[in-house]
Amino acid sequence: MRHRWSWTPSTPPSPTGSVCVASNDSEPSGGAVPGPEDAAPQSAAPQSAALDVAALDVAALDVAALDVAALDVAALDVAALDVAAPQTFAPSVAAPVAAAPNVPALVPDSVYRPIIGLPTYAERARFGSWDIDCTLLPRGYADLVHEAGGIPVLLPPIGVPAPGLLDRLDGIVLTGGADIDPARYAAAADPATRGLRPDRDGFEFELFALARARSMPVLAICRGLQLVNVALGGTLLQHLPDVLGHTGHNPTPGAFTKTLVATTAGSAVAAIAGLEVTAHCHHHQAIDRLAEELFASAYSVDGIIEAVETRTGPFLVGVQWHPEADATDHRLMAALVTAAATYGEERDR
């Protein structure tokens, strides 16, 4: 059964606030009785309160599953047995084992976690003793999806996506990356436009078209925002320093810069993130002519469009900045996850 994931968009969700820790057999904590394998070793375990044998539910005991070999008969403390009152027994109980660090708690069955597709790079990468072609994506994207309540799934740019792929997804994040081929908006390439990735272009333009046809929620980030604008008929400024006379949106290669962004009152972005956002930016291109289906919902102080959305229809929000670079702010991703959970539930009814 699928259930609605809901939260207030203006309040970032806690990664653990809506989950419970489960035992090894996936039953929520509090209902499972620790077995011998769960006990921490102790030299002198404290005695617990007496166990009321008269109230013992014998029918609940799984005798077939009893591990007799695990009983240490030689260590049995006979003195602890109250012979005068045979209905009670004071066993030795070890302290519970602490939860393992960095292991996420399991989400209960009552919460539906939507599956979010993340298009990836196909790049040469080095790690350990390897130098090979890889499918990869900065981890911040997957972490942010997880922390917002979704399940991240990486989508490599292989050919074009099959329509059946969308049957397995509830939402999409169009991720950042290389410049889009200017031929897609009928422009000649600027000398500063380089590092094109035709495999990503082909895969992601089709992925976006399939998602739109299904009214699937989409969050578009940096390159993703530019892709949405081009796919819907808009164009791009190919090199902002030539237009603005400064490199403020991308001053240092390989590093994000903080940019103050003002959102448009009444827009979805303003409702999600507030009227001002300290955005983590790293881009040398931006929207030039805005597609007719979109409206600009945020601007930088130098007039560059920093966010877009649609006025009606399914969730479609694009931001020129990188929310995955700010580990303290889950609001945009959580809004996508909320929309994706609703989409998934309604589709499967």
- For every residue of 186-217, which 3-state class applies, written as one string? CCCCCCCCCCCCHHHHHHHHHHHHHHHHCCCC
Which residues carry out catalysis? 222, 322, 324
Judging by beta carbons within 10 Å of its beta carbon (0-12, 13-18, 19+), is residue 227 exposed, middle or buried? buried
> What is the residue-wise DSSP string for 93-139?
-PPPPPPPTT-PPPPPTTS---EEEEE-EEEEEEETTEEEEEEE--H
Tell me which H or E stretch contains 144. Answer: helix 139-147
Q: Does one domain contain both 209 and 254?
A: yes
Domain that holds residue 206: 115-347
For residue 104, tell me if it sits in a domain: no
For residue 100, tell me if it sits in a domain: no
24-61 tens-digit pLDDT: 333 333 344 334 344 444 444 444 444 454 454 544 54
Q: Using only the alpha carbons of the chain, give its radius of gyration.
A: 27
Q: Does one domain contain both 134 and 168?
A: yes
Position 142 scores a pLDDT of: 97
For residue 78, tell me if it sits in a domain: yes
Least confident of 79-83, 144-148, 152-156, 176-180: 79-83
Classify 30 in phi/psi space as left (phi over 0), alpha (psi -120 to 50) or beta. Answer: left
Q: Does one domain contain both 123 and 193?
A: yes
Count of other CB atoms within 10 angstroms of residue 82:
12
243-302 tens-digit pLDDT: 888 877 877 787 788 889 999 999 999 999 999 998 988 889 999 999 999 999 999 999
For residue 159, tell me if it sits in a domain: yes
User: Are 220 and 228 contacting, i.e. CB atoms less than 8 angstroms apart?
Assistant: yes
pTM over 0.75: no
DSSP 3-state assignment of 309?
strand
Question: From CA 89, how far away is CA 85, in angstroms rounded?
Answer: 9
Q: Does one domain contain both 83 and 130?
A: no
Q: Does one domain contain both 146 and 263?
A: yes
Q: Does one domain contain both 206 and 284?
A: yes
Q: Does one domain contain both 48 and 127?
A: no
| Phi, psi (deg, nearest 5) at residue 145 | -60, -45
User: Are 172 and 117 contacting, i.e. CB atoms less than 8 angstroms apart?
Assistant: yes
Q: Which of 349, 346, 342, 336 is nearest to 145 (CA)?
A: 336
Label the pairing between strands 51-52 and 257-263: unpaired
Question: From CA 347, how far away is CA 167, in angstroms rounded?
Answer: 9
**CATH at residue 206:** 3.40.50.880
Q: Does one domain contain both 176 and 241?
A: yes
For residue 20, tell me if it sits in a domain: no
Question: From CA 294, how far away is CA 311, in angstroms rounded?
Answer: 7
210-253 tens-digit pLDDT: 999 999 999 999 999 999 999 999 999 999 889 888 877 877 78
> What's the domain count of the chain?
2
200, pLDDT greater than 50: yes
Sequence-separated (6 or more) residues with CB below 8 Å from residue 178: 195, 196, 197, 200, 223
Q: Does one domain contain both 76 and 129?
A: no
Spacing of C-alpha 210 from chain mean position: 21
Q: Does one domain contain both 85 and 159?
A: no
Q: Does one domain contain both 49 and 175?
A: no
